[in-house]
Amino acid sequence: MKPRSPIDFSIISLGCPKNLVDSENMVGRLRTAGFRFLPRAASCDFVLLNTCGFLESAREEAREYLEELLELKRRGAIRRVFVTGCLVNFEKDAPLELFPEVDGWVGVFEEKRIVEIVRQFFPQAEQREQAGPTQSRIDRSSRYYFSEQDRWKGDDANRFLLTPPHVAYLKIADGCNRHCAYCAIPEIRGRFVSKPREAVLEEAKKLADQGVKELIVIAQETTFWGSDLYGKPDLARLLSELREIEGPERIRLMYTYPLHFEEELVSVLSEGGKIVPYIDLPLQHANDTILKRMRRAVNRSQTEALLSQLRERIPNLVLRTSLIAGFPGETEAMFRELVDFTRQWAFERGGAFRFSPEPGTAAAALDEQLPFEVIDERFQELCEVQEKIMSNWDEKRVGREFEVLLDRSFLSPEGKPIKDVFLGRTYAEAPDIDPLVIVTGKKLKSGDCIACEIVQLHESNLIAVPSN
């Protein structure tokens, strides 16, 4: 009897690292169920488009990718297209009329059932895994799959990394309770739900066994972890337990919030070791009036007290922040305060966003909305200020030695690896958002962590050579 051909699939993952972890979980479940994963979308039996819905620009990007996939489907290169992720929850069933050729719209709380959903379209798929019970609403006429948020199920057992094999994101919670005025995440992802300590540690150990050298701790708000399970935030103890796991050489903390930096957490961060002195702390603004309108629950003096404490207590600290320009009601004087604040604290890493009045958010209904031209002008200035701060700091690193984790080969414009040139990162760079370290040398390979001397700053990236 002729063996049955495998059913091939691919995934396009858009948005943040938290979304990437969801993609990795879906790929892992499908592979475990017998589907064959291919890195490229063309000529697959089906493709998943895991979308971001945070900003209109992200939603537009998702629609552009979707149009391309549907064109491949019309030409017969793809049989089925499924859309997953935040766009589905943000727009509910609105896209159904615009994109009737999509085979399935899978909400963020239904992604754990991706195998069951896909099998409805590929009944010949080998049954390696039994689908569990479901409480979801399934509208088969519209192929829309949506359910309400549930408690964390600890369902990361079969996760398949889409990052370089030595780097992995460790997602410790989902959802958010903040309800900042500009943000749709609570409506999209639901309330804050911590992943239980045992499940986090089990996943971290499994990643370590796979050879992961850098664990990047992520959530919508990492500093709030444990509050729903243990009665108070307990990130400090979790980090202490994570650093005891053998294998990983770096633990990086992302998506923190100005609140909940209690003494115990600052102490753990100040001890160094595997926990690198890098903190991602999105502050959004510095003016008290704007912070209140943003519903940030923190003022400038509280923020500066925290920044002072972190700078004083944590040696060689790299602070990363993100800021919003042009929020409703932001006067020129308020914006100047934000610029001065940025210069004063000289964040080693950072970025800026234009304010965007996202549908359904409180900020979209505020008065004193600013013209796009004003928002864009302020955004451009804020970017220039932050880029100059980063460049000045990186210039001071030239001639110094740092441990560089090599991520991948440097590619030519044609997409071919260039011999003896690799892209890597010191402790001061998180993947995909911070500058790159370009390392030239013999016998380099992905996953190596080697001592390098920074020899030059080229545009926004660093050039380095091995010290030995």
Taking Cα atoms as reference points, which of 230, 241, 235, 280 lies closest to residue 257?
280
Write down the pLDDT at residue 466: 95
Write down the pLDDT at residue 154: 55
Q: How far apart, in Å, are the Cα atoms of 365 and each of 274, 295, 328, 362? A: 45, 14, 9, 6
Q: Are 450 and 406 in contact (CB under 8 A)?
A: yes
Write down the pLDDT at residue 417: 86
Radius of gyration of the CA atoms of the chain, in A: 23
Residue by residue, pLDDT tens for the chain (468 residues) are 344 578 999 999 999 999 999 999 999 999 999 999 998 888 899 999 999 988 889 999 999 999 999 999 999 999 999 999 999 988 876 666 788 899 999 989 888 889 999 998 987 665 544 433 333 444 444 576 766 666 665 567 789 999 999 999 999 999 999 899 999 999 899 899 999 999 999 999 999 999 999 999 999 999 999 999 999 999 999 999 999 999 999 999 999 999 889 899 999 999 989 999 999 999 999 999 999 999 999 999 999 999 999 999 999 999 999 999 999 999 999 999 999 999 999 999 999 999 999 999 999 999 999 999 999 999 999 999 999 999 999 999 999 999 999 999 988 888 888 889 999 999 999 999 999 999 999 989 999 999 999 999 998 999 999 997
Taking Cα atoms as reference points, which of 99, 94, 87, 84 lies closest to residue 49?
84
Measured CA to CA, the distance from residue 250 to residue 255 in angstroms comes to 17
- H or E element: which one contains 329? none
Write down the pLDDT at residue 93: 64
pTM above 0.75, yes or no: yes
Angle between helices 332-345 and 300-313 (to 10 degrees): 10
Measured CA to CA, the distance from residue 232 to residue 223 in angstroms comes to 10
Read off φ and ψ for residue 419, nearest 5 degrees. -60, 135
Other Cβ atoms less than 10 A from the Cβ of 346: the count is: 14
Where b means 16+ CB within 10 Å and e means fewer, 167-186 reads bbbbbbbbbbebebbbbbbb
445: CB partners within 8 A, 6+ apart: 406
Write down the pLDDT at residue 155: 65
DSSP for 277-317 reads: EEEE---B---HHHHHHTT-S--HHHHHHHHHHHHHHSTT-
| Residue with token string 């994101």 | 169
